[in-house]
Structure 1
């Protein structure tokens, strides 16, 4: 499991220009079962994505397709962790 911390590297007007494409990227990865949760940071300096993938290398490749990454709008910090406890509603997801 991974936490992806996104930090904007540009002004919010450029973020807004690429936002719909970024949201489409998120939707595609929710449908693929890779993303579990996401949202903007408070204050709005970037965002967080909770990712269910087995490989850091595969995650890197996937994130290179994010318009925020491709356009140089944001930088990404990836934290990997091992799930040892979770809410009952997540048991099937995090054990796979």
Structure 2
């Protein structure tokens, strides 16, 4: 699983111009099962994406398709982690073998 942290490197006016295309990109990745959650940072200096189901190189290729990346509007930090605990109802975040071992 990956936590992707985006930091805007251009003014919000330019970010807003690309926002509709960025959201369409997000929708495609949700449909493909790559993204689990996403949203803006507070204050709005970037955003966060939770991704799974791909390796790091494939994720880097996916992120290169983001209109924010193509227009050089944001920098991306990719953090890989292995979730081994989740709150009740959030077991989807765990690998199947971990979810079975922590179940009721």
Which bracket does the TM-score occupy, shorter chain normalised? over 0.9
How many residues matched?
96
Matched residue, 2:61: 61
> What SS does the aligned partner of 2:78 have?
strand
Distance in 2 of aligned mates of 1:87 and 1:58: 28
Alignment CA distance shift 1:81-1:93 (3 Å): closer
- TM-score in terms of structure 2 length: 0.86
> What SS does the aligned partner of 2:89 have?
helix
Q: Is residue 48 of structure 2 the alignment partner of residue 48 of structure 1?
A: yes
Q: 1:30, CA displacement in angstroms? A: 0.6
Contact 1:69 1:75 in 2 (8 A): yes
> What SS does the aligned partner of 1:84 have?
coil
Distance in 1 of aligned mates of 2:80 and 2:12: 28
- TM-score in terms of structure 1 length: 0.93
Compute the RMSD of aligned alpha carbons.
1.2
Relative contact order: is structure 1 or structure 2 higher (C-alpha 8 Å, sep ≥ 6)?
Answer: 1
Matched residue, 2:21: 21
Unaligned runs of 5+ in 2: 97-104
Q: Is residue 31 of structure 2 the alignment partner of residue 31 of structure 1?
A: yes
Contact 1:8 1:75 in 2 (8 A): yes
Contact 1:52 1:94 in 2 (8 A): no
Q: Is residue 100 of structure 2 the alignment partner of residue 90 of structure 1?
A: no
Unaligned runs of 5+ in 1: none
Larger Cα Rg: Structure 1 or Structure 2? 2
Matched residue, 1:11: 11
